């Protein structure tokens, strides 16, 4: 899509035909644009206990085929073309007058243009990063063991507790000896 945010466009079809406005947003996936004070919609917001109800007016998007760029020299609608400059960069050109189309100053403020990084900002950013890493190393939570180990269930828990406390009496085998266990084929008196 050749139309960009900040371009001055004229509406060529629809209920707002003939109106001009600046492009606020470009929705490239759906091939639509939002133009200021064009295709206005009204939305009623219901009142809630913590805020009053209100009526909000906003610009709805329109299809990009319904707008044309305004030529910066002749102030008439024009089609756009692309041309390479001396440095090999692509530029947008108005077909009517051949003038190079630039984005207006208002749109440049809305879009976040990357500023060249100075030595001071780079030093600040690296200092913040180093501080975050050092604080993350200082504040490491102790490794948590599962609930059943903390409560002392199972042979593994007994071994872990013995390692942690260093007690020798915990390492002894406290299981039931083989002689005192009941046989697998134990017959009950009732029901058998």
Lowest-pLDDT choice from 58-62, 103-107, 123-127: 103-107
In a domain, 28, yes or no: yes
Q: What is the pLDDT of residues 130-165, one digit of tens each?
A: 777 776 666 555 667 766 666 666 666 667 666 766
Closest CA to 61 of 117, 18, 5: 5
Q: How confident is the model at residue 166 (pLDDT cuts 50, 70, 90)?
A: low
Domains of the chain: total = 1
71 within domain boundaries: yes
CATH number at residue 79: 2.30.30.30
> In whole angstroms, what is the distance from residue 170 CA to residue 39 CA?
79
Does any domain span residue 166? no
pLDDT of residue 130: 79
Domain of residue 13 covers 8-110
Quick one: average pLDDT of 42-61? 95
Question: b/e for 11-39, b at 16 or more Cβ within 10 A?
Answer: beeeebeebbbbbbebeeeeebbbbeebb
């Amino acid at each position: 899509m050749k139309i960009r945010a900040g371009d001055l466009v004229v509406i060529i079809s629809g209920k707002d035909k003939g109106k001009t406005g600046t492009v606020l947003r470009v929705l490239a996936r759906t091939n639509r644009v939002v133009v200021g004070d064009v295709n206005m919609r009204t939305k009623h917001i219901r009142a809630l206990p913590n805020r009053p109800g209100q009526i909000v007016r906003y610009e709805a998007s329109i299809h990009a085929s319904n707008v044309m760029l305004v030529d910066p020299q002749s102030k008439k609608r024009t089609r756009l073309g692309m041309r390479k400059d001396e440095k090999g960069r692509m530029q947008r050109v108005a077909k009517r007058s051949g003038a190079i189309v630039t984005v207006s100053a208002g749109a440049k403020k809305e879009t976040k243009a990357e500023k060249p990084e100075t030595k001071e900002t780079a030093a600040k950013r690296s200092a913040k990063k180093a501080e975050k890493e050092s604080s993350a190393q200082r504040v490491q939570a102790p490794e948590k063991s599962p609930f059943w180990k903390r409560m002392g269930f199972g042979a593994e828990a007994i071994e872990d507790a013995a390692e942690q406390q260093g007690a020798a009496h915990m390492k002894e085998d406290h299981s039931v000896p083989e002689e005192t266990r009941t046989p697998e084929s134990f017959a009950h008196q009732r029901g058998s």
